[in-house]
């Protein structure tokens, strides 16, 4: 091996390899040698298509310089010195990353009226889009491939001539073909549910949607607040036989409260039914068996519908949509409602809501209960980001117990499905409060609790505290409690189950290796090949084209989400290369050569190399394409 001397020098220092995964010596290399190998192979393949200079310029244009690598964890004294010298703390998020809307990649798009059977355009001469098919086809970017996934699977491509695989289903005279047998097979199947209808969107924007049950609950909150205010002003009293005054007894106060609660709030007209008199009891709600399940965490950005489909194929039992802001849902924002979409393969599916006020959260829960199909609703009280925390949401709910209780009770009042909650150990690193909150949650009516074994302050640094999760699971019984944190192999999952938790939630582990669900269920380490991993990415590409579209806008949206995923997937180290199995989630992968070029390329931490992988599946990137990952690894500090 050419760089054996360099590697031995590198491995000779304990400080140099601190926090790194142990890889077999023959595969280790240096950063310079690694990138030289990757770039040389890439240049050889590019030279077949164009000049070497063009290839270098194209790579320079399509990626942005990466941020500096995270530094190793410092000792206490070194940390204090670093803190004094640099007041800004390292964060796990790139807040000023470049963003280009997918619509800008099309110079001029084909009008929807032309795509849909040449119907007359309602905008006439004022329409901005193309109506001349021949002119559009002459300026359209070249097709990516010879076969269209949508046409081959469903017998019809709804994107017609604008599809980037259009030659697979277009006649010489620019007519779109169909496969009648496949079209009929999918005619009555609703593959994706929970879309926002135009009627509901308009009613939400006009604020004409009625929230009957929410208003009932909020009225009781208002009455209780008024009663507490009256009680503070003058204490309720009754006459004392001795001539004095005494406060009401506890039993009498309860009886009075019972009578007030049972007073009809609205005068009824006509016959009374059981629904008018009898409220639904918790035991009559839809029941979901959460125990002994593998739960794919609700992952912001990366936990999209195509990715969840990949995880379902590998054995995930429970899936959950990305965190949705309740205020945006109530305003009818299409982009926020897209987070609630559910594929037919997701047999146990929930949505996660974020909010900080009882009125908005209760109304949002009723809106979801009446309009979409879910098996449970989850409250996000574990989100650590400043945008959510500073307004009282996410982790902030854990410190606002009274508001938290009002939110839980209100959502439970309006929902016909179980209500779950996801929390962290607390806000500060050395001040855990989950164990104080969990016994109270049991009284509020929570159906299941998920506990991430870190505080907000820790984010993803240091290991998750599974001893604390174990003690909390005993406090939560008989309510099921799921543990979350640091699971990257079936051995990690087995150790987690020994703590007594009811189930396991997997987050980053699924992003690094989505086949982790198969490994856990089959109790093995899967030495998956680079070809198999590329096939997984190809499936994601097809699911993305189905979900976001096969036109230029859909292709680039699929590419962007794939690149976000690759920023996690590149951390995976093949089992056959490890000196010690299994890989730990907090160990950095050192620079290593894979068993073939593709395996080495997939190990690269460079954005430009991720773009090369995407070009294998989605064709060349547009000239003005730029990308910088949203998530910057903060787990190795």
Contact yes or no for 382/422 (Cβ under 8 A): yes
What gap in Å lies between CA 358 and CA 321, rounded to an integer? 21
Tokens 């310079």, residue located: 32
Count how many Cα atoms sit within 13 Å of the Cα of residue 225 in the half-sphere of its side chain.
9
Catalytic residue (one of 383, 395, 472, 570)? 383
Are the C-beta atoms of 619 and 612 separated by less than 8 Å? no
3-state SS of 86-149 is CCCCCCCECCCCCCCCHHHHCCCCECHHHHCCCCCCCCHHHCCCECCHHHHHHHCCCCCCCCCH
- Host H or E run for residue 587: none
CB 636 within 8 A of CB 588: yes
Q: Is 121 a catalytic residue?
A: no
CA 397 to CA 434: how far, in whole Å?
Answer: 12
Burial of 77 (0-12, 13-18, 19+ CB in 10 A): exposed
637 contact partners, CB below 8 Å, separation of at least 6: 70, 71, 72, 73, 90, 461
d(CA 154, CA 182): 6
Q: Which residues make Cβ contacts (< 8 Å) with residue 263, sequence separation at least 6?
A: none
Nearest to 622 by CA among 544, 519, 553: 553
Q: Look-up: residue for tokens 């995976």?
A: 572
Within 489-570, residue ranges assigned H as helices are 490-497, 508-512, 516-522, 530-548, 552-569
Side-chain half-sphere CA neighbours of 500 within 13 A: 13
Is the CB of residue 366 less than 8 Å from the CB of residue 335? no
Please provide residue 236's backbone torsions phi and psi, each rounded to the nearest 5 degrees: -65, 130
How far apart, in whole angstroms, are the C-alpha atoms of residue 220 and residue 217? 5
Q: In angstroms, rounded to a whole number, what is the distance separating the alpha carbons of residues 413 and 407? A: 10
**Sign for the pseudo-dihedral over CA of 31, 32, 37, 42:** positive
Query: Could you check whether the bond before residue 582 is cis, i.e. omega within 30 degrees of 0?
Result: yes
User: Which residues carry out catalysis?
Assistant: 383
């Amino acid at each position: 091996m050419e760089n054996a001397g360099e590697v031995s020098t590198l491995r000779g220092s304990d400080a140099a390899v601190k926090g790194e995964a142990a890889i077999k010596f023959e595969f280790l290399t240096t950063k310079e040698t690694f990138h030289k190998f990757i770039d040389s192979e890439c240049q050889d393949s590019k030279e077949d298509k164009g000049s070497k200079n063009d290839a270098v310029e194209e790579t320079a244009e399509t990626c942005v310089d990466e941020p500096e690598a995270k530094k190793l964890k410092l000792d206490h004294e070194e940390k204090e010195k670093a803190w004094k010298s640099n007041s800004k703390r390292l964060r796990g998020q790139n807040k000023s990353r470049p963003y280009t809307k997918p619509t800008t990649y099309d110079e001029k798009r084909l009008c929807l009226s032309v795509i849909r059977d040449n119907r007359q355009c309602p905008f006439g001469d004022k329409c901005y889009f193309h109506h001349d098919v021949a002119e559009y086809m002459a300026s359209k970017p070249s097709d990516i491939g010879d076969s269209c996934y949508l046409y081959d699977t469903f017998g019809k491509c709804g994107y017609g001539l604008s599809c980037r695989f259009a030659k697979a289903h277009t006649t010489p005279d620019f007519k779109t073909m169909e496969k009648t047998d496949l079209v009929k097979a999918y005619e009555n199947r609703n593959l994706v549910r929970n879309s926002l209808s135009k009627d509901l969107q308009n009613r939400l924007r006009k604020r004409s949607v009625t929230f009957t049950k929410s208003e009932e609950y909020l009225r009781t909150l208002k009455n209780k607040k008024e009663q507490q205010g009256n009680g503070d002003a003058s204490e309720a009293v009754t006459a004392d036989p001795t001539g004095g005054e005494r406060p009401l007894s506890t039993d009498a106060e309860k009886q009075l409260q019972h009578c007030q609660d049972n007073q009809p709030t609205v005068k009824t007209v006509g016959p009374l039914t059981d629904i008018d008199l009898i409220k639904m009891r918790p035991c009559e709600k839809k029941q979901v068996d959460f125990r002994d399940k593998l739960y794919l965490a609700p992952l912001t950005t990366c936990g999209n519908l195509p990715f969840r489909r990949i995880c379902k194929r590998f054995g995930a039992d429970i899936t959950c949509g990305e965190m949705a802001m309740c205020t945006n849902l109530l305003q009818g924002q299409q982009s926020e409602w897209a987070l609630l979409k559910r594929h037919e393969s997701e047999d146990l599916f929930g949505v996660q809501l974020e909010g900080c006020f009882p009125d908005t959260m209760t109304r949002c829960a009723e809106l979801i209960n009446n309009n979409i199909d879910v098996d449970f609703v989850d409250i996000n009280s574990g989100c650590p980001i400043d945008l959510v925390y500073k307004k009282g949401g996410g982790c902030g709910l854990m410190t606002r117990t009274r508001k938290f209780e009002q939110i839980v009770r209100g959502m439970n009042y309006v929902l016909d499905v179980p209500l779950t909650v996801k929390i962290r150990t607390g806000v500060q690193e050395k001040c855990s409060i989950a164990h104080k909150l969990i016994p109270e949650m049991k009284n509020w009516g929570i159906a299941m609790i998920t506990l991430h074994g870190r505080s907000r302050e820790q984010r993803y640094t240091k290991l998750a505290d599974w001893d604390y999760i174990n003690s909390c699971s005993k406090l939560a019984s008989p309510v099921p409690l799921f543990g979350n944190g640091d699971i990257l192999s079936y051995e990690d999952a087995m150790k987690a189950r020994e703590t007594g938790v009811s189930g396991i939630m997997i987050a980053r582990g699924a992003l690094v290796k989505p086949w982790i669900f198969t490994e856990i269920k089959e109790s093995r380490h899967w030495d998956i090949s680079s070809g198999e991993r590329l096939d997984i990415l190809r499936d994601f590409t097809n699911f993305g084209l189905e979900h976001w579209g096969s036109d230029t806008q859909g292709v680039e949206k699929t590419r962007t989400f794939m690149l976000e995923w690759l920023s996690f997937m590149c951390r995976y180290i093949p089992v056959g290369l490890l000196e010690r199995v299994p890989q730990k989630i907090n160990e950095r992968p050192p620079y290593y050569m894979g068993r073939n070029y593709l395996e080495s390329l997939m190990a690269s931490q460079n954005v430009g190399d991720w773009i090369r992988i995407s070009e294998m599946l989605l064709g060349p990137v547009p000239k003005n394409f730029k990308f910088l990952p949203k998530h910057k690894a903060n787990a190795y500090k």
